[in-house]
Structure 1
Amino acid sequence: MLTKIIMPALCLAVTALPVGSRVAMKARADKPNVLFIISDDLTATAVSCYENKACKTPNIDRLAAAGTRYTRAYCQFPVCGPSRASFMSGYYPHATGTMGYTSGRENIGNRATWSQHFINNGYHAARVSNIFHMGVPGDIEQGSNGADDAPSWNERFNSKGPEWKATGKSELLENNPDETKPVKGGNTLEYVKADGDDLVHSDGKTAQEACALLRKYKGGKPFFLAIGFVRPHVPFVAPKAYYEPYDVSHTVLPEKVSGDWDDIPKAGINYKTSRNLNLNTEQEKKAVAAYYASVAFLDAQVGKVLDTLREEGMEKNTIVIFTSDHGFHLCEHDFWMKVGLMEESSRVPLIIKVPGKKPAVCNSFVELIDLYPTASELCGLEVPARLQGKSLARTVDDPSLSVRDAAFCVNNNSYLLRTDKWAFIQHGAKGELGLQLYDMTKDPKQYTNLAGKAEYKDVVTDFKKRLEARLREVQQNDLGDVQRVKKAAIRR
């Protein structure tokens, strides 16, 4: 039976579809709620409760101060679509073949996604804006579903916003040396210091709708509420007040090392760089400052949601999870945006706040694919044996526990294994497109590639064997051989 959803103020509502033939279990009143908040393109290096001192994120920081902050969390694919399909399905991209901009439903069949598993256990599941992939700015401008998965929700809401068409001072940064070209939308470095308040924009509407839903759900059945903010994804659009603290003249760029690219294989050079975007130093600083302003705008919206949770007395029975789908390069190595497997692109912020648990910092390697089993265990639900992630539930009580000895991240035919000491990146099935090896204890900024040095031959050989074994493990699943060999090209 189709459920008609009333259109809320400032948001475009759509119709929720049936969740499948499984009869939902009756939920007990003592089951905790889950509030899942995800940003788009937020690197851990831009959050002030991690290592950034220039960009201020007081609301994310206060969540971290009350929860467990994971310092070494990694996405499974540093591109929006496959990353989201992975953590929502509980499968690695190379298990399903979902490496493009889809929900992955065509590859997992009738298996329950993360939120659908909660529906099947008596929860009410809703999403506001960007959880499965939405094109930014396209789907946000249109207020459309993007690559959403209807069976994953009882209710869903799309927050329409003007994006790059917002009125205000704007500038296209890339390939615009004389500053004569107007902003153009799409996946480009550009900013808008927008007129008006937060509610002009998608994320402001998303926060407003999320707060309204929290009030609506208070006292009702347990809920899984997923809130997807689009910032700081390009275009960098935020009310101009958020730009004021980030004066371009005070913006500090990452260190530039002479010959930095000399030891990086061609496959390891990011698709967007200061060179191919023709950015000068002033434009680089403008891009970093605009990113920080977008992060500040995001942080303010997170604060509104957290305030409502507290004001409505729901903190004591709601698990809060905050993260991003992947990281973002901010001129490190002259790289911009995502897609690459170096630290800034593959690492993400992750905070889990469980009522009644002490605040903590966990330094274990964890992955976004762990969220599905973690939330299930924390809520007392069965954790499906088929899931490829690992539950982090025990780390909430004991943050010193080690969940895994390495993080695994992929980009189509490139692969990352990140251990305590090493970051190993292999391009090509056998490394035929190049290798990268960094000593993360001595070279955490990844300036010196050791893969080609004779004294590290044994280390490289060992990592290649470990990677081969890891891929075999990932492909041992219940999806069948057809899914294992599926390939999808990323449309950049």
Structure 2
Amino acid sequence: MYDSRPNLLLITVDQMRGDCLSILGHPVVETPNLDQLARRGMLFQNAYSSTPTCVPARAALFTGMSPRSHGRVGYEEKVPWNYEHTLPGELAKAGYHTQCVGKMHVDPARSLCGFHHVVLHDGYLHHNRFKHTNKVAESHDSCDDYLPWLRERAGAGADLLDLGLDCNASTVARPWHLPEALHPSNWVATQSIDFLRRRDPRKPFFLWSSFVRPHPPFDPPQAYWDRYDGADFPDPVVGEWAEQDDPARSGLDPITRSGIVPRRRLRRAMAAYYALISHIDDQLGRLMNAMEEYGVLDNTVIVFTSDHGELLGDHHLFRKALPYEGSAKVPLIIADPGGRLGIRQGESIEAVAELRDIMPTLLDCAGVDIPSSVDGESLLGVRERSQDGSWRSFIHGEHAYGEQSHQYVTDGRQKYIWFTQTDEEQLFDLELDPHERTNVAGEEFYAASRQLWRERLVRELNGREEGYVQDGKLVAGRPPRTCLRHILTHAND
């Protein structure tokens, strides 16, 4: 007997900005396949990653929890994942055939986290590459499936470092040097298609296709590089509040978080970034065609998102972690090609959403009970709940990040940021200033708004172990933590 419940496909990319969809009017990037998915479902205008780096963002995806609950409030490697309830685990228990292809970024790297099977490529993870500090069992060679596949086809010496590009944060870009079919983005699509061949046809499936790009290295195949290199696109936005100079010349460092990068290098990095997105879009077209051939497209609910964005020179900043739109806002599409969910086709949703909402949404699609540990909410009824006022009014985000450690709250129309070490406040009117050029925290006109957001943040942080709130007020200078005590204790169980 065949199970008639819908299949579930979660597509995640790494470090893709929320504005990089042509359906949203991006002036350069072309994403026809993602645009088509958006036209066949819901496109969220205000989706965020509460803790916008890889590890904590994926904790939200896996568990449906807020940062306070999953405990990863900054970026820290080698903290074991021992969550009782995970998205793939709940679906597997409910009878779904589950598989992940691509990036997981969990610990240990080979943890299944509830999946029946994982075909793994986390990209270049430094802590698994440093041979002088790792046991053989934890080395990169033993916990990556793409690299052996690549070496079978490109030669035994092939490696992720062959282009000479840093694989985490470099602003240097150049075209992929091997046949396009060997690129990591093609590999994720190839392995995902192969799962359609090998799956148990009696069960509905949950497939998580997890791409490492457009995360650096900025290495698009030549055809995509040619499409964007030299294109006429706008410069990054720079706010009035941003550092306007770079006296230390930190922008000359190929691996940088901030600074003024030489214009030619910056333009090439931007071109490569957009090219990687278009490359993934074409690979998604390939995956959709295969799903049609296997007869499963119209019985599959498809969710597309990213773990966080990329500042890409906005405000002379790069990478992620910070609370600005380029870093914290992510694309989010829920597509229903076969009309299984009754979603209005091509609907645009302004309600604020977060990565924690994806787990309860997919469980809801499958008719599976949502564990009480989940803080997120199913997005299937978000339109109606927004109209009757029962949907959340804002989300809270944070990131331990040294002197730039911060807390933020937003509803997609305004955003309040508090820097926990310096006591600096920022308030942006996103409706009038979507690029966050002007900090209005000190303007009298916005005094009431600033107070409202501050009070909301106080409520969110009250009782936190860092001591950010005392006597009902925000207290700056408290040492930030990347992981809360309860997750460290649980990790050692």
**TM-score where L is the length of structure 1:** 0.77
C-alpha distance 274-103 of structure 1, shift in aligned 2 (>3 A): closer
- Retained in 2: the 8 A contact 1:251–1:288? no
* TM superposition shift of 1:224: 1.0
C-alpha distance 104-333 of structure 1, shift in aligned 2 (>3 A): same
Give distance in 2, aligned partners of 1:125 and 1:63.
Answer: 22
Q: Give CA-to-partner distance per residue, 1:99-155, whole Å, 9 cap, x none.
A: 3345875463xx12111011111111110011345xxxxxxxxxxx87453242111
| Match of residue 379 from structure 1 | 366
- Retained in 2: the 8 A contact 1:274–1:336? yes
2:6 is matched with which residue: 3, 8, 32? 32
- Retained in 1: the 8 A contact 2:85–2:373? no
C-alpha distance 194-257 of structure 1, shift in aligned 2 (>3 A): same
Is 1:207 paired with 2:201? no
| Match of residue 155 from structure 1 | 117
> Which residue type is aligned with residue 364 of structure 1?
A
Give distance in 2, aligned partners of 1:151 and 1:186.
Answer: 24
* TM superposition shift of 1:319: 1.0
* TM superposition shift of 1:442: 1.9
- Retained in 1: the 8 A contact 2:170–2:256? no
Unaligned runs of 5+ in 2: 121-145, 151-157, 245-252, 466-482, 489-493
* TM superposition shift of 1:239: 1.2
Q: Please state whether the residue corresponding to 2:364 is helix, strand or coil.
A: helix
| Match of residue 446 from structure 1 | 436
Is 1:284 paired with 2:257? no
* TM superposition shift of 1:376: 0.8
- Retained in 1: the 8 A contact 2:319–2:327? yes
- Retained in 2: the 8 A contact 1:78–1:339? yes
Is 1:198 paired with 2:151? no
* TM superposition shift of 1:461: 2.4
Give distance in 2, aligned partners of 1:329 and 1:164.
Answer: 24
Q: Please state whether the residue corresponding to 1:30 is helix, strand or coil.
A: coil
Q: How many residues align?
A: 419
Give distance in 1, aligned partners of 2:200 and 2:385.
Answer: 31
| Match of residue 479 from structure 1 | none
Is 1:364 paired with 2:351? yes
* TM superposition shift of 1:291: 0.5
C-alpha distance 153-466 of structure 1, shift in aligned 2 (>3 A): same
C-alpha distance 432-470 of structure 1, shift in aligned 2 (>3 A): same
**TM-score where L is the length of structure 2:** 0.77
1:407 is matched with which residue: 391, 395, 405? 395
Unaligned runs of 5+ in 1: 1-26, 134-144, 168-181, 263-270, 476-482
Give distance in 1, aligned partners of 2:110 and 2:443.
Answer: 46
Give distance in 1, aligned partners of 2:34 and 2:200.
Answer: 23
> Which residue type is aligned with residue 38 of structure 1?
T
* TM superposition shift of 1:300: 1.5
| Match of residue 343 from structure 1 | 325
* TM superposition shift of 1:385: 2.1
* TM superposition shift of 1:55: 0.6
* TM superposition shift of 1:60: 1.0
Q: Give CA-to-partner distance per residue, 1:420-446, whole Å, 9 cap, x none.
A: 531101111xx7531111112222211
460-469 vs 287-296, which deviates more?
460-469
| Match of residue 414 from structure 2 | 422
> Which residue type is aligned with residue 117 of structure 1?
E
Give distance in 2, aligned partners of 1:361 and 1:148.
Answer: 38
- Retained in 2: the 8 A contact 1:194–1:239? yes
1:231 is matched with which residue: 192, 202, 213? 213
* Percent of matched pairs sharing the same residue: 26
- Retained in 1: the 8 A contact 2:395–2:409? yes
2:45 is matched with which residue: 42, 58, 71? 71
- Retained in 2: the 8 A contact 1:163–1:235? no
* TM superposition shift of 1:326: 0.6
Give distance in 2, aligned partners of 1:147 and 1:212.
Answer: 22
C-alpha distance 28-105 of structure 1, shift in aligned 2 (>3 A): farther
Is 1:388 paired with 2:375? yes
- Retained in 2: the 8 A contact 1:103–1:148? no
Note the aligned Cα RMSD (angstroms): 3.0
42-51 vs 317-326, which deviates more?
42-51
